[in-house]
Amino acid sequence: MAMGAARGSSATLQIEMVCVDQLVPEDDRLRRLDGLVDWGFVRAQAAPFYAAEDLGGRPSVDPIVLVKLMLVGALEGIDSVRELLRVSALRMDIRRFLGYGFSERLPVHQTISHAQTRRFVDAMLFERLFLRSVALCKEHGLIDGTHLSVDGFHVEADAALNSLRASLTPIDGDGDGDGDDSVESRGGPPGLALAEPRTGPPPRRRSSNATSVSMTDPDAKLRGKPGQRPHLVHRGQIAIDPKARCVVACVGERATGHEGDALGPIIDRARFAVPELVSVGAAQGFAGEQAWADVAKRGVIAFVPPQRTMLPRPGTAPHTTAKHAAVAARERCRTAKGIWAHQRRMADAEGGVAELKNEHGMHRARCRGTSLFHVKLLLASTAFNHKRLAARQPVAEGAAAGPPNAQIPPCDASHPHTRRRMTASTDQPATTPITPTAWTITPSMN
């Protein structure tokens, strides 16, 4: 076989008539996703954040483009907005997904950051985006809804240990215990007393959530395990359906208190999409008398094994309510259903957490504050569901499979545990209008 002719760069400088739509294959994930989701709800949900058209002003970037860019960043696991825009400008599938041609310039990074951290900061838009992904997964048979696996995980906050400072409280000088003694009430500046003299080496000072707070991110809390360095973290909770491993509910919160305190509220959030929920499974870290009671009060069976210290000693009968609840939880987990729930939790919940961290950017919080961390978790969970939706459901040509009239109750990021109901319309999917093919002519440099 003879050697072929050398190829230069002359072919790249020729004028060609190309179509962006033809450059993206039919089985592309973003192309399939664009045909499955009806994005019109984004403009309706974002309308309160923009001025009326009759008031004039500088035209803004389409909010659908901003939401799609954030979703692409979650799908690709890109945390940096600048890197996201650089990748988006080079990839034809992302340009088609956004509705941009070859020569069109993408929005600047300040616009996207402002939309995520300032304009849509109340998280209502992202809550609706996530709930619509759950509704689509359920409509296409990816969610069973009778059992959920719940797991919590810590995400490293965007704050360093050097930002920790001692948290000070007002001195209660009047002795009434309310801690409201001020300089004015004492009639002078506060008095300081010298510490008692001591001998020996100085004591080791260790920071804790009770004595220190981060000046960079006050919502971040200290977390440390034996053999690991302590770091500032936020905590996320997810509930996954075992049928196709779709996230049904998620909560971003501070890493304080008992982990099982969020078990009841996350069930309330999951029941918006799966009112037929029968049972949940969780790890031993969620075990507790109050957690079992909260789940039972909601009419759900909790397969949460108790910790060894919660059980009575071998050979002794339980003599307290907490011991009785621990023994009953152990017996539930030893049944065939309990063993199955444990296996599904190990595979689905822990596997889902690993996937969120490794593939969707949940290994570190990009923004500061619990509310913005909750937004990041909502975007990652939406991308988690959309990836399964695009991989499993074939797209009908020119049809959108999403329920366009789904009614999603409003959500508040500052109160993520508020119970709400979600109803979905049973109307037929709306048909997406087919737009004419756009042609782009690039001038030659010859």
Residue 370 to residue 269: CA distance in whole angstroms: 18
Per-residue confidence (pLDDT) for residue 347, from 0 to 100: 92
Residue 72 to residue 87: CA distance in whole angstroms: 10
> Residue 166 is encoded by which pair of tokens?
């001692």
Which helix (H) or strand (E) segment holds residue 249: the answer is strand 246-253
Per-residue confidence (pLDDT) for residue 343, from 0 to 100: 94
pLDDT digits (tens, 9 = 90+) for 262-318: 899 999 999 988 999 999 999 999 999 999 999 999 999 999 999 999 998 888 888
Lowest mean pLDDT among 6-10, 82-86, 334-338, 362-366: 6-10
Residue 435 to residue 117: CA distance in whole angstroms: 33
Residue 156 has pLDDT above 50, yes or no: yes
* Contacts (Cβ under 8 Å, ≥6 apart) of 335: none
Bridge partners of residue 221, in order along the sequence? 233
Bridge partners of residue 223, in order along the sequence? 231
Which helix (H) or strand (E) segment holds residue 156: the answer is strand 147-156
pLDDT digits (tens, 9 = 90+) for 141-151: 999 999 999 99
pLDDT digits (tens, 9 = 90+) for 93-134: 999 999 998 888 999 888 888 888 888 777 788 999 999 999
Per-residue confidence (pLDDT) for residue 168, from 0 to 100: 53
Residue 209 has pLDDT above 70, yes or no: yes
Q: Which domains does the chain have, with CATH numbers?
A: 13-123 (no CATH), 124-160+229-381 (3.30.420)
pTM (two decimals): 0.78
Residue 88 has pLDDT above 90, yes or no: yes
